[in-house]
Chain A
Amino acid sequence: MTTAWSLYALLVFPGLLFLAFLGWTLEFVDRKLYARMQNRIGPPWFQPVADFIKLAAKEDLIPAEANPRMFKLMPVLALAAVLTAFLHIPLGNTQPPIAFEGSVVVVVYLLTIPTMTFFLGGWHSTSLYSMIGAVRTLTQLFAYEVPMLLAVLAPAVLARTWSLTKMAAFYDQHPFYAATNLIGFLVALVALQGKLERVPFDIPEAETEIVGGTFTEYSGRLLAIFRLAIDMELVAGASLVAAVFLPFGLGLAPLWGFLLYLLKVLFVVFLLALLRTVTARVRIEQMVAFCWKWLAPIALFQLLLSLVLGWRIWTIMKS
């Protein structure tokens, strides 16, 4: 890749600009769906952009007690991590800008960094609510991360590759095997909800308990960047789930393939919005217990299923 092409990929498509606009679109879709399911009208289409511009135009307030360098660094770091993760994910049948053996693990790893920045940002705010939020963020991370990783690994085990592109190619050849990953799909959806800190797992920023949680002290541009990073994380998370668990229609022409990708992401966002409509926020210890008692064993079961199936498939293919 030439430098100009790399810059284009990084900043325009599928990089920052595309990701930001898709993030705002998905935030709008999510809020609109949530509102309609709650019998409300919901925001107009430009609301997420308007929110961003409003926040960006406001003054940045940094608490006197806070560590200003860490406080300012964290939102940017979150944004950068999500962007980097997104560059590894194939959108429909396109080749991602960075593709190599092991991209699944790298994406999951990179998507953990935003959570760490929430923790560090909250911790370095030194406000009481932020610190409680930060501790909860970390506690929650330990609960959903393992089921998430296990669920995403199961299809990879079945395809015998750690590359998202090669996984897509495998499931394109054997479309019916994708159906065996249904359990993993559901586990990944629930874990993704936890990663995105949405109801019922919005414990780290539970408004009625700890005001704004991790983000209590953030305002202005820094908060705008954090919000954008969360929107982009929604895109990256939904894209990852779509690429891993919904790998069909990959033989289409590029434009149709891309539209199908958007449809898949919208479907994932619809499921996430539905989940947050029908549930109440759980307590942190309930969340941890749920993840370890139910989600992780179910994900393990899926992994086992994939292992057995994978062994069968590959012995048949060899003979």
Chain B
Amino acid sequence: MAKVTVPIGPQHPALKEPESFSITLSGEQIIETNMRLGYNHRGIEKACEARTYIQDMYLVERVCGICSHSHSTCFITAVEEIAGLAVPPRAQYIRTLIAELERVHSHLLWLGVAGHEIGFDTLLMYSWRDREVVMDALAALTGNRVNYGINTIGGVRRDFTREQLDSLLKVVDVLEERTKYYIEVATEEPTLINRLSGVGTLPHDDAVRLGAVGPTGRASNVNRDVRRDDPYLAYADLQFDVIVDTHNDVYGRTLVRVGELMQTYRLIRQIVKQIPDGPVTVKAPRRIPAGEAVSRYEAPRGEDVHYVKANGTDKPERVKIRAPTLANLQSVSRMLENNNLADVPITLAAIDPCFSCTDRMIAVADPASGRRETLSWEALRQHGIRWYAGRGVDFAALNRKLGRKLGRNA
């Protein structure tokens, strides 16, 4: 077969969010990968500037559907640092507890997605069934399955009773047993190992150079974890191991994630045992004094960085979010080199991408004049209409057709 360019995305069954990868193939072998981001930009950073800190907290929680607590906590840590608030220890422990439960559900979700991408749907069904256990536990604790809404500036919104905390131990026992089973599957099932090892290789030096974070980096022996290197919340008081692996491939990333699950259960047990008594919140001012802060957070997918600049009002001057996917996305091209088309979905999935978290506004650069400009909404809309008209799609006609249809039905 001659060279062909296969579009993976913006709409493709392997991708859960719109993003475009055009892959040039010779037969089944990948020669070149081109990435285009920006299909899923929601303008959250800009929207933050128009809202109060309390509103922003809920908005930022919706940056990601999986690591919602990560973004909300990361943002609020920066705000509390500017305001000089001392968050009570019990609140810190509760935040840590939710963060670790979130890691469990994120990693189990990933395991299922990875299974699906390599056509191993049984793994998907099993791991997502078990994920329900932790989802139910989160719903019982916070009232919600994903956007927990547990944080508030200066603490947390809910306190847990001893019974609630103790009931978590049973949940952890169930999950630990299931995770041990998955470790067994991952290390013994031959088709799984054959499909994952040697795929999407990211050597250690490249991982460092390209700034891979989280499990993606740790599977290439990048021994970094914000929880240990720059402790936040209650992590300084807790014992856990940072799981690293030297496989450098998708198989290594799988081992790191299931290994991290076991460490997370260890952390949850410690939190339930050690959680101090006391208040869960301190009074926070509505207006945050002028200042700026950067906060780091080890989200399930890697290091999450938030920058907040306050100007003395009740709204931030600037919020900047660097989601872990942005750090890991650069390494995808390297991982895909000399791989097969069959490995594209799993290699992409192995960084556990969250594209909507990553997409940002793009300035249009004209390579001829070197001029940079940003498009207004109206200009962008007109550009879109022209672009499609050039390809034979007439939106005016479609609109008229739709109007007639609606008119007839009404």
Please report A residues at the B interface, Cβ cutoff 8 Å: 37-40, 128-129, 131-132, 135, 199-200, 202-203, 206-211, 277-286
* In-complex Cβ contact of A284 among B125, B191, B195, B342 (8 A): B342
Residues in A whose Cβ lies below 8 Å from that of B28:
284-285
A-B contact pairs, 19 of them (CB 8 A): A37-B122, A131-B4, A206-B342, A207-B13, A208-B13, A208-B118, A210-B6, A210-B341, A211-B13, A278-B189, A279-B120, A280-B119, A280-B195, A281-B118, A281-B119, A281-B120, A281-B342, A282-B195, A286-B195
Within 8 A of A (CB), among B178-220: 189, 191-192, 194-195
CA distance A261 to B203 in the complex (A): 56
Q: A203-B342, A206-B342, A211-B13 are in contact. Are A280 and B125 (CB under 8 A)?
A: no
Evaluate contact between B14 and A283: CB separation under 8 angstroms: no
CA distance A279 to B192 in the complex (A): 7
Q: Which of A39, A202, A207, A208 neighbours the largest number of chain B CB atoms within 10 Å of its CB?
A: A208
* In-complex Cβ contact of B129 among A39, A280, A286 (8 A): A39
* In-complex Cβ contact of A135 among B1, B116, B344 (8 A): B1
CA distance A254 to B172 in the complex (A): 58
Chain B's closest residue to A212 (CB) is B13
Q: In the complex, how many angstroms separate the beta carbon of A316 from the nearest chain B beta carbon?
A: 42
Q: In the complex, how many angstroms separate the beta carbon of B83 from the nearest chain A beta carbon?
A: 46
Apart from A39-B129, A208-B345, A286-B194: 16 A-B pairs, beta carbons within 8 A:
A132-B6, A132-B341, A200-B119, A208-B13, A208-B118, A209-B345, A210-B6, A210-B341, A277-B122, A280-B118, A281-B191, A281-B342, A282-B194, A282-B195, A284-B342, A285-B28
Residues in B whose Cβ lies below 8 Å from that of A211:
12-13
Residues in A whose Cβ lies below 8 Å from that of B1:
135
Evaluate contact between B191 and A280: CB separation under 8 angstroms: yes
Evaluate contact between B194 and A206: CB separation under 8 angstroms: no
Evaluate contact between A202 and B119: CB separation under 8 angstroms: yes
Grouping DSSP codes into helix (H, G, I), strand (E, B) and loop, the B interface class, with mixed when no group exceeds half, is: helix
Q: A39-B129, A128-B6, A283-B343 are in contact. Are A208 and B195 (CB under 8 A)?
A: no
Q: In the complex, how many angstroms separate the beta carbon of B12 from the nearest chain A beta carbon?
A: 7
Within 8 A of A (CB), among B12-52: 12-14, 28
Q: In the complex, how many angstroms separate the beta carbon of B196 from the nearest chain A beta carbon?
A: 9
Evaluate contact between A209 and B14: CB separation under 8 angstroms: yes
Evaluate contact between B342 and A280: CB separation under 8 angstroms: no
Closest 9 CB pairs of A and B: A281-B119, A280-B120, A38-B125, A208-B14, A208-B345, A280-B191, A283-B342, A279-B191, A280-B118
**B117 interface residue, CB < 8 Å from A?**
yes
Residues in B whose Cβ lies below 8 Å from that of A279:
120, 191
**B340 interface residue, CB < 8 Å from A?**
yes
The size of the chain B interface, using a CB distance under 8 A, is 31
Residues in A whose Cβ lies below 8 Å from that of B116:
208
CA distance A291 to B52 in the complex (A): 64
Evaluate contact between A282 and B191: CB separation under 8 angstroms: yes
Q: A211-B13, A285-B28 are in contact. Are A38 and B119 (CB under 8 A)?
A: no
* In-complex Cβ contact of A128 among B4, B192, B194, B344 (8 A): B4
* Binary CB contact string for chain B from 90 to 127 against chain A (1 if under 8 A, 0 otherwise): 00000000000000000000000001111111110110
Evaluate contact between A209 and B194: CB separation under 8 angstroms: no
Evaluate contact between A209 and B191: CB separation under 8 angstroms: no
Residues in A whose Cβ lies below 8 Å from that of B117:
208
Residues in A whose Cβ lies below 8 Å from that of B125:
38-40
Q: In the complex, how many angstroms separate the beta carbon of B353 from the nearest chain A beta carbon?
A: 14
Chain A's closest residue to B123 (CB) is A280
CA distance A209 to B340 in the complex (A): 10
Q: A128-B4, A128-B6, A206-B119 are in contact. Are A280 and B340 (CB under 8 A)?
A: no
* Binary CB contact string for chain B from 235 to 270 against chain A (1 if under 8 A, 0 otherwise): 000000000000000000000000000000000000
CA distance A8 to B166 in the complex (A): 70
Residues in B whose Cβ lies below 8 Å from that of A39:
125-126, 129
CA distance A283 to B119 in the complex (A): 10
Q: A206-B342, A208-B116, A280-B115 are in contact. Are A200 and B191 (CB under 8 A)?
A: yes
